[in-house]
Amino acid sequence: MWMSAEHERVERLIEALDAATRQPPVGAAELLDALRSLLGEFRTSLLTHFGLEEDGGYLNAVLTRRPTLDRQVEQLKDEHRQFAVLLDHLLAMLDATGPADFLLIRECCARIQSFVACTRDHEQRENALVADVQNIDIGTSD
């Protein structure tokens, strides 16, 4: 299924962000540059990804097959909106942080770690939803 390849691509970016912020070095200018470009790339990819999920019909396909899942689908869509807001906040905070601001750098890393955890949780629920719908389809096709 094309969506699982798409999810693997997003997971690789999440892993890179996670690894870069897990144990932040103290006052590293390179780290700030790396985080800016990583987060910028992540923002572009994630917004494209959300667009595909919403307009590419995958969330709608879930709804068509299982209308009772509308609350879960609405929640996932609303999280897409909130992730976009969070990404803008994170990028603004990175812009306001200098190479010697080690307290701010630590805070940026902590917030990115929290963001990474939320995106993983989101993707897991999405995958579970798709698996549910597929299992139901297999179950009823007998």
Q: Which residues bind Fe ion (CB under 5 A)?
A: 53, 123, 126
CB of 7 to Fe ion, least distance (A): 6
Minimum distance, C-beta of residue 74 to Fe ion, in the bound complex (Å): 12
139: which 2 tokens?
A: 């179950």
Tell the smallest beta-carbon distance from residue 37 to Fe ion (Å): 22
Shortest separation between residue 107's beta carbon and Fe ion, angstroms: 26
- Write the CB contacts of 98 (distance below 8 Å, at least 6 apart in sequence): 32, 104
DSSP per-residue string spanning 36-68: HHHHHHHHHHHHHHHHHHHHSSHHHHHHHH-GG
138 contacts: CB under 8 Å, gap ≥ 6: none
Q: Which is nearer to Fe ion, 32 or 53 (CB)?
A: 53
Task: Compute how many other C-beta atoms are within 10 angstroms of the C-beta atom of residue 138.
Answer: 9
Q: Which is closer to Fe ion, CB of 17 or CB of 53?
A: 53
Q: Is 11 or 33 the residue whose CB approaches Fe ion more closely?
A: 11
Of the pair 9, 22, the CB lying nearest Fe ion is at 9
